[in-house]
Amino acid sequence: MKRAYIIVAVLVVLIIIAHVFMWRSDMPTNQKLAWTIVNTLSWTVILAPIFLVDRWLKATLAKNDADQNTRG
Q: Which domain holds residue 46?
A: 2-71
Quick one: pLDDT at residue 1? 64
Q: Give tens-digit pLDDT for 12-55.
A: 899 899 999 999 999 999 999 999 999 989 988 988 888 899 89
Number of domains in the chain: 1
What b/e string do you get for 24-40 counting C-beta neighbours within 10 Å, with b at 16 or more? Answer: eeeeeeeeeeeeeeeee
Q: pLDDT higher for 31 or 1?
A: 31
Angle ∠(18,22,23) on CA atoms, nearest 5: 120
Instruction: Give the integer Cα–Cα distance in Å for 49 and 39.
Output: 16
State the pTM of this model.
0.63
